[in-house]
Amino acid sequence: MAENKETSLKEVIGMEAPSVKRSSEGAISRIAIIGAGVMGRGIAEVAAQKGIEVVLVERNKESLDASLATLGEALDREIARWGITRGDKRAILSRITGTVELDDVGDVQFVVEALPDDLQLKIRMFTRFNEIWKEPVVFISNTSTLSITELGEAASCPERVIVMHFLNPVSKTPLVEVVRALKTSDETYARVKRFAEKLDKTVVEVFESPGYITTRVVVPMLNEAMYALMEGVASADGIDTAMRLGYGFEKGPLALADMIGLDICMSWMEALFHELGDIKYRPCPMLRKLVRAGHLGRKTGEGFFKYDNEGRRIE
């Protein structure tokens, strides 16, 4: 293994696989999460809160340090809201370690891949997983739209590959879709279901289909709300108010799109349009314009609405 401690995830392809012990199939005690972005951090927080040791793997030390700092800030906001105590924060962070090298991970029971939805990047990573971690380690992807069957074949152990589709924010959303690939074994599904239940998530079993349930169903609503705005049917606030009060939604579709990230919404639409060929998934031109302008929603301070530095709507 190279001595450089900032080895990127893309550079792991071609490295010699380190020797790793076989993981126990008993109580869930230690997992690895590859990718410490929004979803990776959220999964790490929930797992650590339930007493599970977590190893976060990032592409370089700067990204890892920034992600851990962001996680600490998120926990501070929970303390300010009386959601957790300072002792809870210390306990959570004590169970999370970070690394930029896969061979630092060691013995785990689950490897959770939380990288961007780039199929070729994920295929390269799953190929490496199979070289590093042997049976009975389960490989989990948090993808929203990509084919888990294709990732399973890349890992050469399709029976041990599965999707856990967490929704953002992971700590607040009680659902996880557990998506079986064509060859996912019943044993793998059962183990992952136990893992999800340990995280206090309600499991919905899904058999592979583009967009699964949540993404496939929500995308046409978001897209249609954008078309209604573009066509001048009503203002953004009017559209969201009508949907919130008329159907009891916590958020209107445009505010929801801003929360998800408009670039993420567009990538979902493009993937579903490519896979299913249905015009209802074709991204609204207004969405494309906002993404090109860098107005990606809450994370950039502006999307369909404007937000302050804490993500609170100001317009």
Average pLDDT score, the chain: 89
Residue pLDDT, tens place only, 179-228: 999 999 999 999 999 999 999 999 999 998 889 999 999 999 999 999 99
Encoded amino acid at 75, one letter: L
- Sketch out the chain's domains with CATH numbers: 10-207 (3.40.50.720), 215-300 (1.10.1040.10)
Residue pLDDT, tens place only, 244-299: 999 999 999 999 999 999 999 999 999 999 999 999 999 999 999 999 999 999 99
Determine what percent of the chain is predicted with pLDDT higher than 70: 91
- Sign of the torsion angle spanned by Cα atoms 171, 173, 174, 175: negative
What whole-number distance in Å separates Cα of residue 183 and Cα of residue 201?
Answer: 24
C-alpha radius of gyration, the chain, whole number: 20
Q: 201 near 171, Cβ under 8 Å?
A: no
Q: 131 near 17, Cβ under 8 Å?
A: yes
Measure the CA angle with vertex 187, ends 184 and 188; round to 5°. 50
pTM of the model: 0.84
